[in-house]
């Protein structure tokens, strides 16, 4: 992932900012494209979306014994 971000930063004039919002496109769509740029168009099995990373993050926390309310807070979920 760090190589993807480094490549993105080098190829875009972003003046030391990590994520730049484009008023014409949502940031989530830009990140999805960045993560999937080298995956074949019809290879749905290996495509990821930004939400996949959120799910993986939460899953790893749970697997490693993080209390559910801590995960909820880290994921910015408000409901109990």
Torsional class of 49: left (φ above 0), alpha (ψ -120 to 50), beta (otherwise): beta
* Crossing angle for the helix pair 2-11 and 27-36, to the nearest 10 degrees: 110
Q: How many CB atoms lie within 10 A of CB 14?
A: 12
Q: What pTM did the predictor assign?
A: 0.49
Domain ranges of the chain: 1-44, 49-80
pLDDT tens per residue across span 20-40: 556 666 777 777 777 777 777
Q: What H or E segment, with its residue span, contains residue 54? A: helix 50-63
CB proximity list for 14: less than 8 A, separation 6 or greater: 20
- Predicted local confidence at residue 64, as pLDDT: 96
């Amino acid at each position: 992932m760090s190589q993807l971000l480094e490549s993105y930063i080098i190829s875009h004039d972003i003046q030391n900012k990590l994520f730049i919002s484009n008023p014409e496109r949502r940031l989530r769509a830009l990140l999805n494209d960045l993560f999937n740029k080298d995956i074949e168009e019809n290879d749905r099995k290996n495509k990821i979306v930004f939400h996949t990373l959120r799910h993986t993050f939460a899953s790893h926390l749970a697997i490693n014994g993080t209390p559910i309310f801590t995960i909820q807070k880290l994921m910015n979920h408000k409901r109990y």
